[in-house]
Amino acid sequence: MFCFFFFFSFLLLLPLPSPPLASHPNKQDADHIGGHIKSSRHVPSESLDYAAAELARQLKGAEKVVFHCALSQQRGPSAALKYLRERERLGDQHEEGKVKKQEVLVLEGGFVAWQAKYGNDERLTENYNKELWEAGY
């Protein structure tokens, strides 16, 4: 299964062996400090207006694309909506001319919730810095 995570500041997750996620835009690059979802891609939210078309092309074969920001309350959902609109604008077509189904999701609770549950799991989270999160978000 292909799943991508986007972190916004924006992260995009690349295929993982198990169910993956995507991340979203940035609360400045500071959101990426302290850890990130393994195989994700960081895409700054301020770049999404011009990066959305390329992301839609790169991810057209993904079954799931997951967006997030720190809390997934504003930047993550906004990025997911921009991405969906770009897919629609590009026609969202598969090679055979059929519409390729893709599930676009927003990570509930954002990275704050993710790190609380999976921060110490090196299979899922990279560069995790527990001390930074202990002080609270």
Question: Which sequence positions are flagged as catalytic?
Answer: 69
Q: Using CA atoms, how far apart are residues 47 and 18, in angstroms rounded to an integer?
A: 29
5: which residues sit within 8 A by CB, 6+ positions away?
A: 11, 12, 13, 14, 20, 21, 22, 23, 37, 39, 40, 41, 66, 67, 68, 107
CB 57 within 8 A of CB 34: no
Q: Which of 18, 36, 2 is nearest to 10 (CA)?
A: 36
Q: What is the CA radius of gyration of the chain?
A: 14
Residue 36 identity: H
